[in-house]
Amino acid sequence: MRLLAAVSVLALALTAPAAADWPEFGYNPGRQNVGPASTGITAANVGKLKRRQIMLDGTVDSSPIYLHGVTVDGHTHDTFFVTTTYGITLAIDATTGLELIRRPANKTSVSAVWQPIDALTLSATALWVGDWMDVPRAGGASSVAPGYNTINLAANYKMNENLVVFGRIDNLLDKHYEDPLGFEKTGIGVYGGVRVIR
């Protein structure tokens, strides 16, 4: 589930001094919470600040750090690093608001739905996810997480106005993959049930 993270980025729509790093919680080991560099925010331009919120997995439960000129996957970014629930660390491009790791460069899905008779609906979805940069659960350097593909099937049969029987097969080809690294997804899964409509 995607939750609105408790991260707000204030951006000036004007030229500011070169960015200064905020390398750790509270700026330094003494948690001074004040950096030595000018922020460029003054009484004259504070009204031009804009609040920016981004969507992240989980809730940010620590003060973000900021580093400029960080190389991620061969590209240079000004970057915020935050830790979310379950200890997952995310790198966020300060300009675009996009996550820099755990974001595959390529992700495609194709779905088909067929209704051979009024009461029956069949569907299939194929998902292909390319490689992405990730940080292993046990810590250490970032590495490339291998991409994966899955096929999911589903069927719904309307018995009458108040009763629907449904079934679903997830990961039909029983692919084994981790997303994120260190968290293996289940193999093939078969589910079914009855839905009562009132």
Q: Are 181 and 145 contacting, i.e. CB atoms less than 8 angstroms apart?
A: yes
* Dihedral sign for Cα atoms in the order 99, 103, 108, 111: negative
CA distance 82 to 22: 12
Q: Are strands 120-129 and 75-83 parallel, antiparallel or unpaired?
A: unpaired
> Residues 51-106: pLDDT tens digits?
877 777 678 877 788 888 887 666 788 888 888 776 677 788 888 887 777 767 67
pLDDT at 157 over 80: yes
The residue among 4 and 154 whose pLDDT is bigger is 154
Judged against a pLDDT cut of 70, whether residue 12 lies above it is answered with no
Please tell me the pTM assigned to this model: 0.52
Confidence at residue 89, expressed as pLDDT on a 0 to 100 scale: 73
Q: How far is CA 109 from CA 24, 104, 124, 133, 134, in A?
A: 39, 13, 10, 20, 21
- pLDDT tens track for 22-61: 777 777 777 777 777 777 788 898 888 888 777 776 788 7
What's the rounded Cα separation, in Å, for the pair 171 and 180? 17
Q: Which residues pair with 99 in a beta bridge?
A: 92
pLDDT tens sequence across 115-139: 999 999 999 999 999 887 777 666 6
